[in-house]
Structure formats: structure tokens, C-alpha cells
A and B are shown apart, each in its own frame.
Chain A
Amino acid sequence: MITSLDTLKRGQKAIILEFTLDQVPLKLLEMGCLPGNEVELVQIAPFKDPMYLNINGSHLAIRRETACHITVETLSDE
């Protein structure tokens, strides 16, 4: 299913498809958030923000406002 990153559930995995370039900082790309890479939502902080991700082995947290600009395709197996 194609959706945006901020709709993932805890533990769910997905493949990054694309993102709105002006809304996603370069730094995030450099940390491995690139199309084709796998992303796992490790944990969501209270109040649903920020989101703790594992992108291709890099563990990092970003805010929901950034995550919603990243389009992903969910992987069916949990």
C-alpha cells in the first residue's frame, strides 16, 4: 500500500518511494533516507510526535511534519 511515512504503525516496515524535496532536509537524505531504502517505525513518542525510525540501519528520530512529506510503500509482513 502506498502511503506517507507518518501513517505507519509501530513496528511496521516500508520502502521509501519519494519525497517533496523542499520539505525534507538534505541532512536526512545524507543519513540514509533515500528512495529504495527500507524504513521501520521503531517507536512513536507520546502525543504522536516525533517518530523514531530505523532507516537502513540508521536509527534516528524526525518530526511528523517532515515524515508526512515522505511517500512509502508498506511491506505486508509485520
Chain B
Amino acid sequence: MSKQLNVALIGNPNTGKTSVFNQLTGLKQQVGNYPGITVEKKEGVCKLPRGVKAHILDLPGTYSLNASSLDENVVIELLLNKNDKDYPDVAVVISDVENLKRNLLLFTQIKDLKIPTILVINMADRMERKAITLDVEKLEERLETKIALVSSRKNTGFEHLKELIANYKSLSVEPCVNASVIAPEYFDRLRKAFPKQDLYKLWLVITQDVNFGKLDRNEMQGISSFKTESKSNLKRLQQKETIVRYQFINGVLKETLSIDHLAAKDLRSRLDRVLTHKVWGYVIFLAILLLIFQAIYDWSSYPMDLIDEAFAAAGEWVRNTMPPGAFTSLIAEGILPGLGGIVIFIPQIAFLFLFISILEESGYMSRVVFLMDRIMRRFGLSGKSVVPLVSGTACAIPAIMATRNIESWKERLITILVTPFTTCSARLPVYLIIISLVIPDQKVLYIFSLQSLVLMLLYLIGFGTAILSAWVLDRILKIKKRTFFVIEMPNYKLPLFKNVAYNVIEKTKSFVFGAGKIILAISIVLWVLASNGPGENFTNAEANVTARMEAGAFPQDELDKHISAEKLEYSYIGYMGKAIEPVVRPLGYDWKIGIAIVSSFAAREVFVGTLATIYSVGSDEEETIKNRMAGEVNPILGGPLFNLASGISLLLFYAFAMQCMSTLAIVKRETNTWKWPVLQLVIMSGFAYVVALVAYQLLI
């Protein structure tokens, strides 16, 4: 059926728009108890009664149609542009039954735009606990709309909502507040100048600073003459408008809503007293962080060992059962080890996502923002920068997008620039394997494992560097600050298992598949380069090595090993590696590590897979990645290649270097210029090289 209907979900942040969207469309967009989870519009399809198909749009939350941050602009630009392909036939305003008064402000504004509007009152499941009663019929009458009382948690009320959407033609488009009473003469003049336009829309265009690039310019010509009113005058009018709207809302709610405030004061205040306490607040935050590292390091080591062995066994099985030949060796030596290098990290990454998701779902994140704002401001950041910095431990890309709710451009830019220093999950594979190779497996103070402490230290280094560079940037960047800061403190909620589980599964999946594709491609390329070579040295490798053995250079049982080493050395990749070796040698790396570093400029997690592929070409034995790396010998100094000095140097290199194309692309998108990503790439990677160099030279 081509009878498609555009439906936009609009509402204050954190009222459950995405939860409603997921219920309607069956999709699994991210939900979290923190204002500003959704920052971009997302689309989905919903089947309505009588075969109507609705095109549903999930939007970032906004407190009103007066945009004050980037994610809010999305909504206003959509609603003011009738030519937009997503322009809604129906606006569904999502409100939270516990914050109805505030949520209705936006509702009355949208109503004034004369768009057919449905009011969804979400979180109906909380009404009983909070002793809230609501006269829905009367509210429908006073607001001139249809209301669906739903609970996305309990999945109730959605049939009614779908029915309402399908019948959208019968909705009233009468405004419920007359905004022009705030300045009758002014609005009269406006109406006369643009008889064809909607009055409230004109008012929004006049008062907004947003970029209405797509707006029909011809229709709006001459509107700028109405901006002649001074800025503060306009703002006074906006304040008046807000007051008028609240007067209306208060009047309506007095007749229809009752809340027992005593019942409402409960868990929140008791939890807040502890979680935002001067001392306990920080102690708890730190304890939570410690717990996360313990989980990542200790608890996930068991499934990881299993995965590592399973891949080694799979490679062995392929080699033994498939007919020998190029294809078999491509799978056994190229693809399997490459993929194993990423699959092995699933347990850890899942744990990380699990914790972040629980923190977000419980409502705790806003408390951290509150606790940290003062401290972060010293470094030119905002309390809200904590969220990107914490979620940056999963991945810098969503983290950078999460900066959109930071009001001040300077604070936001600095946050974007320093976020890539936080230890993202792609660094984790590199850290883990190197730590397990070079840091002894000991206990400190009987309980903490030394290895997990080193890991935590690396996270702290990442975080510390982010903070310090923010401090430096704050002093260098000359951007006028217009600071103001408002953050909502949502109610605490028990994380919903389903939401958390979806989050963990979806994010882990996209991590594995995203990285998987790159790794697959790179490992095939590497395998081809490593099993072919130019010139005679490669083709005659076997004969040459055998001759050397016969001359007594080494015992016969080492023959195979020497042959594969010789082949690798004279393969294409060997020559390429030799070319970069002078650059990486001072840091303590051999050419194989050099190749792995170069290939991980596409994405860091490729590092382990690359090494696994390079090391396994030509080897016949069933071996885990770790054992292969442990067995590598430093070609010049002798001794293990991965020792304390080269290990630390590698760890530091990965801590600081900018090795993620996707992050660079996102920074370009969010800042609208290549200047910042290029600076990030050059400065971060240059710094990484210097630090790694110094570390190696000091330790050796």
C-alpha cells in the first residue's frame, strides 16, 4: 500500500520517545535514563489498523520550540519546513506522567503550529506508586486533542495509540493557547505583512537563531524587518509567552491531575543524599569504576581463553581436513587468525557496554554530571563532558555525538577534541594482549591483580591526558564563552533488563561486524602479501635454507621454522616492513609490529589480528595468538621481542595515537571543518611517537 503517513515523535528529553518508537516499530534504538540519548532523527515503519503504514520518526528531545542546542534544532527545522520529506502529517507529543506540566509546554507550542497533534502520556505504570490520578477525558477536551495513556515498559495502551494515529484526520488543529496576546499590536502587524503564513510559525522564525537553510526564502522575504525589535525585547516577549502558556497549563492541570506529593518523595531523595554527597558521592563513583575494571579484566578471562583455544583448534581442523592448497592456507593462516583476534574480545567489550548501559539506565549519569561540573569547568569542560568521556571508553564515535547537548560551543569543541584520548574498546584488545605478555601475573595487596591495575592505570592515563589537553586548549582557543548550564536530574529507575540486554547485544554486534569487515579485508590482503614475494630470494627460500642447514647452521628439526621465516622476510610484506622498520626501531618494534601499526591506522583493533595473521603464515602448529607473540624473538638484541620496554612503549603509543578513521570522519561532521580532525591526527600521533620513544629508550 502506498498510503504512507508521516508520524513524528516529539517531546521533552527523557520522556520515553525512543521507548515508544521501539514499541511501535519493533526496532531497537538505544534507550537510556539520561536527557539527550537520541541526538539524530531515526526512522522506522509501523503497521496501523486497516492496512495503513506509518513512517515513524524518532527525534531528539527538546524542551520547547526555542532551540538552544544542536540536537534541538533538528526538531524545529523539521516542523517549520513543510517541504521536508519527513514533514509530519501527525505530531505525536510524548510526555511523562510525572512531569506532565513541563511536558505540556512543548505540546501547546506544537498545537499552535496547527499540526494535527496526539498527546501520549507515557510511564503510566508509575502512576500508582506516585499516587497520580488523571482525568483523561477532561484533559482531552481542554487540550483539544486525543490522548493515549501508555506504558512502554508494560506495553500497554499501544493499540489505542495506533488507532488514534490511523484516524489522524479527525484530530482538531485548533491552537489551545493564543500566543499573540503577549503583544497584540506587534502580532497584528505581522499578520498583515504575511497574510498567508501561520502566525506562530512567523514568530518562531523571528525569534530563532537557528539556520533555516531549507526554509522557503521567498515566502519569508521581509521577515527580517520584524527582527528590528531589540534582542532583549524579543526575549522579554518569549518570557511572557512562556508565562502565558504555563498559566493555561496550570489551569488545565488543576482540574484534571492530582499528585500526592508525599508519596512522591521517596527513593529519589534518599538516594540523592548519598550519591551526590560531598565525600560518598566520589567514593561511590570511584568504586564503580574499579568494579568495572575488575570485571573487564578478571571475570572475562575465562570465556576469552575458551575462544582463543577454539580458534586455534578451528585453524588446525581446517588444515587437517581440507585439501592442502592456497585456499586452505588462506583460511587457516589468513582469515581465521585475523577474525580470532577480534572475536576473543567479545566478553570484555560486552562487560564494558553492560556497565555503561546500566549507569545510563539507572539515572546515575546525571548525578555524575552534577558532581563533576565544578571540577571539569576548571579544565575548560562542562559537567556534561563526563558523559562523552565515560561513554568514550566504549567508542569515541557515539561519545562525540553525545556532546551535542553541551550548550557552550567552546566547551563542546574541547570535549570533542579530547574525547579520543579516553581508552576506547578498540584499544582494549591491544592493551590486553600486551599486558598479558609483559606484565607479570601477580597479586598486589593479595586481591588486586597487577595486570588489571596496569590496565586501570592506562585508562587513567587516557582520562588524565584528555583532561590536561582540555586545560591547554581552554587557554589556547580564543572563543567567546557564553556559558550557561542546565541539566535535568531524572528519577532513578531500575534498569530494564530488556533495554540493557539489547544495548549490549546491539553494540557488541556492531563492534564485531564493523571491525570484522575491516579485519577480514586486511587479513586477506596481508596473507596475499605475506605468501608471495618478488624475485629469487622468495622462490628459492626453501633451497637456500636447506643448503644452510646442510652446512650446519642449525639442526634439522628447526628446518621448517627457518624456511617460513626466510619466506616471510623476502615476501612483499617483508620488503614493506623493512622500509618502515627504521621509523619504528627506535621505539623497540620489529618490522612486523610496524606493519601492524600501519594497518591499525584504519582502526586500532586490527593490530592483534594483523600480528596473528603475519605470525601464522607458514606455521603448521596449532597455537594461540598469545603463544605466537610470546615466542617472537627480537632479531637484533635477542630475547623476547615483547619485553617490558617494547611493551610499555607500545601501550603508550596506542594510548595517545589517533588511529581511527571513523572518529576523524565524525569530528569533521560535528565541527564542519577538516581543520580539527587533521590537527587531532597530527598532534596526537606525533605526541604518541615521542612518548613511546622516550619510554623505550629509558626502559631498555
Chain A residues in the interface with B (C-beta under 8 A): 21-22, 24-32, 34-35, 42-43, 45-50, 52, 56-63, 65-66
Contacts and interface: CB of A to CB of B under 8 A. Distances in A.
B68 A26 contact: yes
Given A42-B269, A45-B373, A52-B370, A30 B485 contact: no
B239 to A, nearest CB: 6
Given A21-B232, A45-B374, A27 B488 contact: no
Interface of A is mostly: mixed
30 contacts: A21-B232, A21-B235, A24-B484, A25-B407, A26-B68, A26-B239, A27-B64, A27-B486, A28-B486, A29-B239, A29-B242, A31-B102, A34-B242, A34-B246, A42-B269, A42-B272, A43-B272, A43-B370, A45-B276, A47-B374, A50-B485, A52-B276, A57-B259, A60-B487, A61-B373, A61-B486, A61-B487, A61-B489, A62-B485, A66-B486
- 4 closest cross-chain pairs (CB), A and B: A59-B489, A47-B374, A25-B484, A30-B64
Nearest to A46: B278
A56 B101 contact: yes
A66 B484 contact: yes
Contacts of B273: 43
| Tier of interface size on chain B | 35 or more
Contacts of B64: 26-27, 30
B486 A60 contact: yes
A17 B102 CA distance: 19
Nearest to A43: B276
A30 B374 CA distance: 24
Contacts of A63: 373, 483-485
B371 interface: yes
Contacts of A62: 484-486
Interface string B260-274: 000000001100110
B68 A31 contact: no
Contact of B489 (A28, A47, A49, A52): A52
Interface in B391-438: 407
Nearest to B378: A47
B339 interface: no
Nearest to B372: A45
Nearest to B275: A43
Contacts of A60: 486-489
Interface in B82-128: 99, 101-102, 105
A23 to B, nearest CB: 8
A18 B18 CA distance: 36
Contacts, number: 111
B371 A30 contact: no
A33 B167 CA distance: 37
Contacts of A42: 269, 272
A20 B259 CA distance: 32
Contacts of A50: 370, 373-374, 383, 485
Given A26-B238, A30-B242, A61-B487, A49 B63 contact: no
B209 to A, nearest CB: 11
Given A22-B232, A26-B68, A57 B101 contact: yes
B236 interface: yes
A46 B281 CA distance: 9
A48 B370 CA distance: 11
B427 to A, nearest CB: 31
Contact of B488 (A21, A31, A43, A47): A31
A32 B486 contact: no
Given A25-B486, A48-B374, A66-B485, 7 more contacts: A22-B232, A26-B238, A27-B63, A30-B242, A34-B246, A42-B269, A60-B488
B243 interface: yes
A32 B383 contact: no
B685 interface: no
B66 interface: yes
Contacts of A61: 366, 369-370, 373, 485-487, 489
A21 B239 contact: yes
A49 B101 CA distance: 27
A30 B488 contact: no
Contacts of B407: 25
A21 B269 CA distance: 31
B375 interface: yes
A14 to B, nearest CB: 17
B235 A59 contact: no
Given A30-B66, A43-B272, A52-B276, A21 B486 contact: no
